[in-house]
Structure 1
Amino acid sequence: MANRFVLNETSYHGAGAIKDIASEAVGRGFKKAFLCSDPDLLEFGVTGKVIGVLEEAGLSYEIYSNIKVNPTIENVQMGVEAFKKAGADYIIAVGGGSSMDTAKGVGIVIANPDFEDIRSLEGVAPTTQKSVPIFAVPTTAGTAAEVTINYVITDVEKNRKMVCVDPKDIPVVAFVDPEMMASMPKGLTAATGMDALTHAIEGYITAGAWELSDMFHLKAIEIISRSLRGAVDNTAEGRTDMALGQYVAGMGFSNVGLGIVHSMAHPLGALYDTPHGIANAIILPTVMAYNAEATGEKYREIARAMGVEGVDAMSQEEYRQVAIDAVKQLSEDVGIPVDLKDIVKAEDIPFLAQSAYDDACRPGNPKETSVEDITVLYESLI
């Protein structure tokens, strides 16, 4: 069976990258942008930087900001109606995963109206048309939604997140500008950075991993490990490197999948509105220990990429443990909680475990798992 790899048509990287939005829009003949961005980014002027580029070039736009941190079916439905009324012909998504996931849902439904029931998009939906063209401008260094074929929408009625996988939703152009990320507070920088590390590590050990994806994931682990602490301290170098590292991780995991760290994190976001990066960061070391026996020599390379010295002289048990310890240390250094005690209620664990098992990311886990196994993992974290 052939391995498929899907990436953006074009991406711009580095300070000032958003200035190229105008030339890309004009060059593609676009007339009016549907600008998706969450209310906080609008309030604090982050989205205004993109608006400034559009206005300077005389490009028309309409803003849509009915977007929650964990975007809902309603957010997408209302976005679809707003897009139709706006008379727009392309979308600019400015923000983290919430803005981009909403934009992807809107773009897919506009192009595939037979999927207007948002629940029909869950999993690998058989859409036939490419999304409305999306320009993606990340403001967090973590989700890599600007280069992935995935998006996640919360079904509020069922207290669950729907993972949607569709190569037709990938943004046509990504503008990865670290200056758009400079206003991120420390806590958000840490959470999204650990999300990116989780993408890289899970993508590297997932069942679908192969040489091409391994190349991206190992490089991403290296970049993120050396730069996240600096990004949290808001150094220019740290911000720039994290913007690249999270994107490189996205290039990999989008094409090979993830595992049960994400499966376990998704229900926490749906039930408790837990920030996705925080959930991933807390769960990651525990699941790494659980998966270790199914990963061959890969933890040695994770440890090496994270800067651990002397791994070639270590036994398999030793290098697996130092890889896990390196992740724990980075997480601690950037201020992530060590467990789920303040998040998870014991009585909710059966629901969480079943939701995690049913999650679209679970089949990618390198080790076969069960609802019972996942239950024990949750219990060990509270």
Structure 2
Amino acid sequence: MANRIVLNETSYHGAGAIAEIAGVAKSRGFKKAFVCSDPDLIKFNVTSKVTKVLEEAGLDYEIYSDIKPNPTIENVQTGVAAFKASGADYIIAIGGGSSMDTAKAIGIIITNPEFEDVRSLEGVAPTKNPCVPIIAVPTTAGTAAEVTINYVITDVEKKRKFVCVDTHDIPVVAVVDPEMMASMPKGLTASTGMDALTHAIEGYTTKGAWEMTDMFNLKAIEVIARSLRGAVNNYPEGREGMALGQYLTGMGFSNCGLGIVHSMAHALGAVYDTPHGVANAILLPTVMEYNAPCTGTKYKDIAIAMGVEGVENMSQDEYRKAAVDAVKKLSQDVGIPADLKAIVKPEDVDFLTQSAMDDACKPGNPKDPSFEDIKNLYLSLM
């Protein structure tokens, strides 16, 4: 079977990269932007950095901000109606995964209206047409939604998140500007950064991993490990490193899949609205321990990329433990909670477990989990 790589047509990287947006829009003949951004980014004048670029270039736009941290079916459907009424011909998604996932779903439904129920987009939907052109501008260094073929929507009624995988949804242009990330508070920087690390580690160890995705994911682990602490302290070099690291793993995991850290985190987000990065960060070391017997020598590479010294002289058990310990230490250093005690209610564990078992990320896990395995992983963190 052939391995496939899907990437952006174009991406811009570096401080001040948002200045390229006006030229991109004009060169592609775009007339009016539908700007998807969440209310907090508008409130704190982050979105306005981009809209100012549009205004100075004489480009028309309309803002849509009915977007929750875990975007819902209703957010998408309201956005579809707003796009139709706006007269826009392209989308600018400004924000983290929430804004970009909402934009992707809106863009897909506009060009593939038979999926307007949203739920039918779950999994690998048989869409026929590329979505409305999207220019994606991340403000967090975590999801890498600007370069992935994935998005996640919350079904409030059923208390579950569902993953959509569609090559038609990838933004045509990504603008990765670390200055757009400088206003992120420490907690959000930490949680989104650990989300990026989870992408890289799961992507490196998933069943679908191969040489090209390994190249992206292993380098991402190295860059994130050396950059996240600095980013949390808002050092420019830390911000720049995280902007690059999260994009690197986006190119990797989008093309090889993830594992049960994400399956379990999706369940937590749907039931408790737990921030996705926080859920991933709490779960990652425990799931790494569970998966270790099915990862060959990959934890040796992870330990080296995490900056652990003396790995070459370690036994297999030692370097596997060293890799997990390095992840735990980074998570602790950036202030992530160590367990789920303050999040999970015991009576919900079976529902969470079944949700994780049904999640689209589960099949990629290097070790095939049973219901009891996932249940015990949740319980071990309570």
User: Which bracket does the TM-score occupy, shorter chain normalised?
Assistant: over 0.9
Query: What TM-score do the two structures reach when normalised by structure 2?
Result: 1.00
The SS at the match of 2:189 is: helix
Q: Give me the whole-angstrom Cα distance separating, in 2, the residues matched to 1:370 and 1:266.
A: 17
Aligned residue for 1:88?
Answer: 88
Q: Give me the whole-angstrom Cα distance separating, in 2, the residues matched to 1:116 and 1:77.
A: 7
**Residue deviations 1:111-137 (CA, integer Å, cap 9, x gap):** 101111100000000000000000000
Q: Give me the whole-angstrom Cα distance separating, in 1, the residues matched to 2:67 and 2:371.
A: 32
| Root-mean-square deviation (Å) | 0.4
**Residue deviations 1:184-211 (CA, integer Å, cap 9, x gap):** 0000000000000000000000000000
1:371 aligns with 2:371: yes
Aligned residue for 2:309?
Answer: 309
The SS at the match of 2:254 is: helix
Q: What is the percentage of aligned positions where both structures have the same residue? A: 77
How do residues 284-323 of structure 1 correspond to structure 2 at under 5 angstroms? 284-323=284-323
How do residues 134-149 of structure 1 correspond to structure 2 at under 5 angstroms? 134-149=134-149
Q: Give me the whole-angstrom Cα distance separating, in 1, the residues matched to 2:208 and 2:240.
A: 29
- Measured after TM superposition, the shift of residue 368 of structure 1 is 0.8
Aligned residue for 2:350?
Answer: 350
**Residue deviations 1:106-164 (CA, integer Å, cap 9, x gap):** 00000101111100000000000000000000000000000000000000000000100
**Residue deviations 1:255-313 (CA, integer Å, cap 9, x gap):** 00000000000011010000000000000000000000000000000000011111111
The SS at the match of 2:209 is: coil
Aligned residue for 1:153?
Answer: 153
- Measured after TM superposition, the shift of residue 10 of structure 1 is 0.2
Aligned residue for 1:128?
Answer: 128
Gaps of 5+ in 2: none
Aligned residue for 1:170?
Answer: 170
Q: Which amino acid aligns with 1:207?
A: K
Q: Give me the whole-angstrom Cα distance separating, in 1, the residues matched to 2:360 and 2:144.
A: 18
Query: What TM-score do the two structures reach when normalised by structure 1?
Result: 1.00
Aligned residue for 2:204?
Answer: 204
For these two proteins, the number of residue pairs brought into alignment is 382
Aligned residue for 2:338?
Answer: 338
Q: Give me the whole-angstrom Cα distance separating, in 1, the residues matched to 2:51 and 2:92.
A: 10
Q: Which amino acid aligns with 2:12?
A: Y
Aligned residue for 1:14?
Answer: 14
1:118 aligns with 2:118: yes
Aligned residue for 2:267?
Answer: 267
Aligned residue for 1:280?
Answer: 280
Q: Give me the whole-angstrom Cα distance separating, in 1, the residues matched to 2:114 and 2:346.
A: 40
Q: Give me the whole-angstrom Cα distance separating, in 2, the residues matched to 1:221 and 1:197.
A: 6
1:38 aligns with 2:42: no
Aligned residue for 1:229?
Answer: 229
The SS at the match of 2:140 is: coil
The SS at the match of 1:255 is: coil
- Measured after TM superposition, the shift of residue 371 of structure 1 is 1.0
Q: Which amino acid aligns with 2:38?
A: D
Aligned residue for 2:380?
Answer: 380
Q: Give me the whole-angstrom Cα distance separating, in 2, the residues matched to 1:13 and 1:285.
A: 31
Aligned residue for 2:64?
Answer: 64
Q: Which amino acid aligns with 1:276?
A: H
Aligned residue for 1:185?
Answer: 185
Q: Give me the whole-angstrom Cα distance separating, in 1, the residues matched to 2:172 and 2:327.
A: 33
The SS at the match of 2:255 is: helix
